[in-house]
């Protein structure tokens, strides 16, 4: 009789321990899922920031090229060509941003 009582106590102890371990595992899985979603969001944000930085870099390169073209222009026709170049570059940027 005493052995059955001891076995019952051991069984209850192990059952309680397993219950709490399963509860902890479920909580950790939930936290892992939340962290994974946060990581995906951060990765997407970094991707957009990188694309934005590339666009800014392209704009700065174009601005420097255009400034050089304006400074080097000697006639009105050359200035008009530079302005047409500006319009063409800006139009292509706008079309790419919309798509």
pLDDT in tens, 52-77: 999 899 888 888 888 887 778 788 88
pLDDT of residue 68: 81
pLDDT of residue 65: 82
- Collapsing DSSP to helix, strand or coil, 74 comes out as coil
* Mean of pLDDT over the chain: 88
pTM (whole model) above 0.75: no
Residues spanned by the domain of 87 = 2-98
Considering its fold, how many domains does the chain have in total? 1
Residue 99 has pLDDT above 60, yes or no: no
* Percent of the chain whose predicted confidence (pLDDT) is above 90: 49
Q: Are 65 and 78 in contact (CB under 8 A)?
A: no
């Amino acid at each position: 009789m005493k052995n059955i009582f001891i076995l019952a106590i051991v069984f209850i102890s192990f059952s309680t321990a397993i219950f709490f371990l399963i509860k902890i595992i479920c909580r950790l899985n939930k936290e892992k899922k939340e962290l994974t979603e946060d990581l995906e969001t951060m990765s997407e944000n970094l991707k957009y920031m990188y694309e934005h930085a590339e666009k800014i870099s392209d704009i700065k390169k174009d601005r420097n090229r255009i400034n050089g073209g304006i400074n080097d222009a000697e006639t009105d026709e050359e200035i008009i060509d530079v302005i047409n170049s500006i319009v063409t570059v800006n139009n292509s940027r706008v079309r790419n941003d919309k798509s």
